[in-house]
Structure 1
Amino acid sequence: MTTFTALTTLTGKGPAEALGLAMERLEPEPTGVGVFEIEDGSGLWEVGGYFVETPDEAALAVLSAAFDAKPFVVSELPETDWVAKVKRELAPVAAGRFFVYGSHDADKVPEGAEPLLIEAAMAFGTGHHGTTLGCLLALDKLVGEGVPVGSTLDVGCGTAVLAMAAARIWDHEVVASDIDAVAVEVAEANMRANGLEGRVLCLEATGTDHPRIAARAPFDLVFANILKGPLIALAPDLAEVTAPDGHAILSGLLNEQAEEVAAVYKENGYNLVDHQQIGEWSTLLLRKRPSN
């Protein structure tokens, strides 16, 4: 089935959310509307809708003018079997000792590798993105250096590929949390697919705000592969649950954002150990300074 998208940008969260609500009242109505902040420091927000019928471009023009947004760009999307497409295009990824793959590539897992199975239909956070790959390589660095880790927390876990990687290495229960209930369901499905039931506790939580996280803190290793804004906002909370001399692996950052985030975490008791860039994305490996 052919679908259509209509996308625009404008300044400010409030106007963007109001435009999103107005789009929901269009005829033909969209099957979905999304409102997202563009994480480049510009202050711009993207508003977009999906349609199964050709959208009314005159009505879209009225909305863009009313909300002082850029003219909508309407595009036609051909019918695509996205799962089949992902299977074709997502080749396995080697990240140090870790090997991320789909079931269609099960015969390609190298001997001695730590396998991480992520199905194509659950492709967000597979290791192909520079942020996830960077986190896996930072983890591989810690393992290679023999850093002792007795507890791990993965905040904003998505598919929980990072939590699973830690569970492959260390014999302790890893905690993985996400604000999105669907992500938690995906994470739990991945645990079953990888034979890691009982090794990773998956929780729906906002940041570190969950009694079961508090009960297990502090953690020797904390992952947070999210975005610049949430990373900065969460800095005091992550510092609170990171053990002295423990490590944090942070990503979801554009290269030009890394210095600012590292500075915020320095103010919250961390020292920068390593800064890795993969394409336009950065990963920070930090160590929590011991308490005085």
Structure 2
Amino acid sequence: MGQTRFFLATDKASAKQLFDALEAEFEDDGLPLAMIELDEARGIDEISLYVDGDAEDAEHRMARVLGEHGHATDLSREDLPDIDWVARSLEGLKPVRAGRFFVHGRHDRHRRQIGDLAIEIEAGQAFGTGHHGTTAGCLEMIEQVVRRERPRTALDLGTGSAVLAIAVAKMAHIPVLATDIDPVATKVAAENVRLNGVPALVRTATAPGFHHPVFGMAGPFDLIVANILARPLMQLAPRMARHVTPGGSLILSGILQRQRDAVLAAYSAQHFRHVRTLRREDWVTLHLKH
């Protein structure tokens, strides 16, 4: 069955109010709910609800919640096509080296070298192949933090293709929880985990938020890696503080250089200490300790 996305765009204040109301409505259903920034200058955010299979009930419920908040006519619907986006994106891409990590497709297996921590990303419908500056920055930071701190448990929040979870598992040989709000991403992440030989270490789960019981069962975590976006990372700061162990580390990315100080301020308010900033292209990766 295909997947359907219901979405609307509105101002930030209304988006936060609607997101909280929709989260309460669909919390027991486990349906992925996301809020992203569409236009920073105009202050516009977009809320999306993803539904697999029959979406009629979810559409009626979402419309009812929106109507209760004066947004009855704003709901849009998109039937998502079965397009293999990563397969397309991998066409013609070269392998990526980031520290000891070597991220490659099947066609570049012959380029692996002795000593590489090789990660093969099978084509699938999820993002995070290692070619983006944020992913490569996270891989470099993971190598440094794992070598220095030797964490015992880890979380890859917003795992995408699971490349970061696989990296932690291969280097640290510890249990890693890899979660995403998108069930398509979670499915592809699980396939990549098996492909890279770490299913005994990496557990994948579709989890819309930290209220999901999987976090309580697997955590708290010595290391949390989150390559998302600046605004969601800032909103997550209080919950990050509750799920990282005392003295534990965060590796955060998906942050533009101009957003760095705002993200650091949000985490400083939760008693995180900035350790290092790694810059790649226009993006930064942050290492913070609690």
Q: Which of 266, 274, 286 is equivalent to 2:276?
A: 274
| 2:251 counterpart residue number | 249
| 2:219 counterpart residue number | 217
| 1:38 counterpart residue number | 38
Q: Secondary structure at the match of 1:208?
A: coil
Find runs of 4+ consecutive structure 1 residues off by over 4 angstroms.
Answer: 80-85
1:151 aligns with 2:166: no
* Per-residue deviation, 1:270: 0.6
Say if 1:91 and 1:123 are closer, same or farther in 2 by CA, change over 3 A: farther
Q: Which of 103, 106, 117 is equivalent to 1:103?
A: 106
* Per-residue deviation, 1:39: 5.7
**Cα RMSD between the aligned structures?**
2.6
CA contact (8 A) 2:253 2:286 kept: yes
1:131 aligns with 2:137: no
Q: Which of 185, 188, 206 is equivalent to 1:186?
A: 188
**Alpha-carbon distance in 2 for matches of 1:265, 1:115:** 32
* Per-residue deviation, 1:141: 1.5
Return the index of the structure with the highest Cα Rg. Answer: 1
- Alpha-carbon deviations, 1:129-168, whole Å to 9, x = none? 1111111111111134x21200001111111111100100
* Per-residue deviation, 1:276: 1.4
Q: Secondary structure at the match of 1:38?
A: strand
Residue type of the partner of 2:93? Answer: L
Question: Which runs of no fewer than 5 residues in structure 2 stay unpaired?
Answer: 1-8, 16-34, 47-82
* Per-residue deviation, 1:110: 1.7
How many residues were matched structurally? 227
1:94 aligns with 2:93: no
1:229 aligns with 2:231: yes
* Per-residue deviation, 1:122: 4.5
**Alpha-carbon distance in 2 for matches of 1:12, 1:276:** 32
Question: Which runs of no fewer than 5 residues in structure 1 stay unpaired?
Answer: 1-9, 16-34, 47-79
CA contact (8 A) 2:275 2:289 kept: yes
* Per-residue deviation, 1:274: 0.7
Say if 1:182 and 1:84 are closer, same or farther in 2 by CA, change over 3 A: closer
* Per-residue deviation, 1:123: 6.0
Say if 1:256 and 1:117 are closer, same or farther in 2 by CA, change over 3 A: same
- Alpha-carbon deviations, 1:220-259, whole Å to 9, x = none? 1001111112111111111101111110000111111111
**Alpha-carbon distance in 2 for matches of 1:239, 1:138:** 20
Q: Secondary structure at the match of 2:197?
A: coil
* Per-residue deviation, 1:87: 3.7
Q: Secondary structure at the match of 1:164?
A: helix
**Alpha-carbon distance in 2 for matches of 1:225, 1:231:** 9
1:116 aligns with 2:115: no
**Alpha-carbon distance in 1 for matches of 2:84, 2:153:** 40
**Alpha-carbon distance in 2 for matches of 1:223, 1:84:** 25
Q: Secondary structure at the match of 1:149?
A: coil
**Alpha-carbon distance in 1 for matches of 2:85, 2:252:** 30
CA contact (8 A) 2:126 2:160 kept: no
Residue type of the partner of 2:265? Answer: A
